[in-house]
Amino acid sequence: MPFVYILECSDKTLYTGYALDIEKRLKQHNQGLASKYTRARLPVKCVYQEEKESVSAALKREMEIKKMTREQKLDLIKSCD
């Protein structure tokens, strides 16, 4: 199943993405193989994930989250604690 996720980078910035295998994708990020943005801000940790029924639903949700302010993203993360 596809996932939408938010990573917290070492500089406390947030990165949003999607993946079919969240564990594999997180490992790729921390190896510097997944994103130019996160490569410069290692290590990263997953602070939020949301499972979706399809890749298109995951991509749609990723875009929604990316449009949120930092505060809205932090509220989303807190809502899952």
Is residue 75 over pLDDT 80? yes
Domain layout of the chain by residue ranges: 3-79
Banded model confidence at residue 63, pLDDT cuts 50, 70, 90: very high
Q: According to the model, what pLDDT value does residue 80 have? A: 82
Give the span between the Cα atoms of 66 and 63, in whole angstroms.
Answer: 5
Tell me which architecture the domain covering 3-79 has in CATH: 3-Layer(aba) Sandwich (3.40)
- Each residue's pLDDT tens digit, 20-57: 999 999 999 999 999 999 999 999 999 999 999 999 99
Segment 15-20 mean pLDDT:
97
pTM: 0.94
Q: What are phi and psi of 27, to 5 degrees?
A: -60, -45
3 state DSSP class of 49: strand
